[in-house]
Amino acid sequence: MKKKILENIKTIFYALIIALIIRSFFFQPFYIPSSSMEPNLLVGDRLFVSKYTYGYSRHSLPFSPQIFNDRIFYEEPKSGDIIVFKTPTDNRTDYIKRLIGLPGDSVQIINEKLYLNDKKIKTRLINNSYNIKCGDNFFYANLYEEILPNGTKYIAAYRKDGTIKNTDKFIVPENHYFFMGDNRDCSKDSRFLSSVGYVNFNNFVGKAQIIFFSNNKEIASFFKIWRWDESLRFDRFFKKIK
């Protein structure tokens, strides 16, 4: 009996070690808690983030131990990538946003149009009355397909009666990056210098790759199995993130 108990403990220990290695160096699951990335990522989406895409920093490991101060095996991110990072204000809170500005870039919104390095990026209005969520509220928004200079396409929402139709011009410092949520009037991101601001590349956790599960908890909790046909978003299972 004692031998069997010891074998079970060893099995659990090895399983935990393997899980820790996978989580730290390969893939980590994340949950979307807010509507700042709608309509592309929804509250209730669960996704895998690749930890190796941009190399590793202390934030790649659980609890961000002060093992090393720089980033190793660093790979340059691309504009348009959706990235999980630790907020610069506390180096602890995970945020997920879209990378818009690289080091040295200028970023500005003028009349709901995004400008990179003083050039307006290509846009296409695809919906002028989209009902989008922000916290517990809904509002109507204009949906634009935005096309970055590198060809990355995504959908961005601008509240029709919003206050962030125009911004200051932001100049991204060296080794830092500028992020925005796709739900432009419902996102605390690099436009808010006192709370998020420019993000150092050492704060990157990983790149969002795929949605593996999604549940609309406003319809029903995941544990209400009898309502899965209503609450589970089956069309989002194993959906690649763009």
Residue 86 to residues 138, 159, 169, Cα–Cα distance (Å): 28, 27, 24
Query: Within 10 Å of residue 134's Cβ, how many Cβ atoms?
Result: 19
The single residue of 51, 86, 97, 207 carrying the catalytic annotation is 97
How many angstroms separate the CA atoms of 57 and 169, rounded? 30
221 is catalytic: no
Torsion of CA 222, 187, 209, 70, to 10 degrees: -120
**Widest CA span in the chain:** 73
Beginning with the edge strand found earlier in the chain, give each strand of the sheet holding 153-159 in spatial order. Answer: 122-134, 137-147, 153-159
Task: Quote the CA–CA distance of 151 and 63 in Å, as a whole number.
Answer: 36
| Two tokens, residue 86 | 């630790």
Catalytic residue chosen out of the listed positions 34, 36, 57, 60: 36
78 is catalytic: no
Q: Which residues are catalytic?
A: 36, 97
